[in-house]
Amino acid sequence: MLIILADVDKIRDRDDIDTIVSAEIPDPTESPQLHKIVLRHMVHGLCGTVNPSSPCMVDGKCSKEYPKPVQVVTVSNSDSYPKYRRRNTSAIYKTAGGLEVSNQWIVPYNPYLSLKYNCHINVEVCASVKSVKYLFKYVYKGHDDANVEIKELSHDEVSTYVDTRYVSAPEAAWRILAKPMHHQSHNIIRLAVHLPNQQTLYFRPDTAQDAVNNISMTTSILTAWYLLNESSPNARRFYYQEIPEKYSWFQ
């Protein structure tokens, strides 16, 4: 978040910077609560030779340039962050994790905000004109776009199947032993049930009228069963649902 101050409140010298931003460990006697908060939340994770595997380490150096050099007074910069005051008080404090740190390891903070929220809040003074671009970066970002690549695809289904197919050890053994891969237990036949002359009628578009005129002559599996009962006394022994087990129907 970037806060732009009114003209009357703008930061003009190092005294103003020291009033708003601190990079030192507070005195445990004068500010015991702030002292604990800074040691708990505002210490940069130890890195460098102490911890070369720290996430901030790039090419053997801390990307955030910690530990910071000792700074007797704050030095402002017209186009960069100030060099905050980090006095060499010879005082070494221990964090909650038992690490020994000095002012060189403290992340800049605002005492009021740290006391109010009791968490990690990094506060910096931005004196560069680049801060405007940071604030309005989405205005300068331009329109949304996407990378598009046009290439000719080869629809080789055989190669795709071979390249992407995975055969596990049990499946490979099953195939090598020529075990059956498929099994069918029943052949399902749908038995039609309908009222007289209301059977489903199939016809070609050019023979629709002839099909309607001859609907009474069109048989379904239900009407064929009636005709079978008339002509075959043996078929009368079976229920409708048993007929497909003994007879076949050809339309």
- How high is the pLDDT of residue 49? 80
Residues 19-35 have pLDDT tens digits of: 999 999 999 999 999 99
Taking every pair of C-alpha atoms in the chain, what is the biggest distance, in angstroms?
Answer: 118
> Closest Cα partner for 104 from 117, 85, 121, 120?
85
For range 115-136, the mean pLDDT: 81
Q: Is the pLDDT of residue 251 over 70?
A: no
Looking at this protein, which amino acid is placed at residue 212? Answer: V
Domain limits, the chain: 7-140, 187-251
Coil, strand or helix at 19: helix
For range 115-137, the mean pLDDT: 80
Q: Is the pLDDT of residue 161 over 90?
A: no
Give the lowest-confidence range in 116-120, 136-140, 189-193: 136-140
Q: Is the pLDDT of residue 111 over 90?
A: yes
- How high is the pLDDT of residue 177? 94
33 compared with 163, residue with greater pLDDT:
33
- Confidence label for 174 from pLDDT (cuts 50, 70 and 90): very high
Most confident of 9-18, 33-42, 188-197: 33-42
- b/e map 3-26, b = 16+ CB within 10 Å: eeeeeeeebeebebbbebbbbbbb
Coil, strand or helix at 30: coil
* Helix H or strand E encompassing 33: helix 32-41
The full DSSP string for 62-107 is ETT-PSPPPBSS-B--TTS--B--B------EE-TTS-EE-GGGBP
For residue 93, the tally of other CB atoms under 10 A from its CB is: 17
Note the pTM of the prediction, 2 decimals.
0.51
Q: Is the pLDDT of residue 139 over 70?
A: no
- How high is the pLDDT of residue 209? 79
40 phi and psi angles, rounded to 5 deg? -85, -40
* Helix H or strand E encompassing 57: strand 57-58
218 compared with 183, residue with greater pLDDT:
183
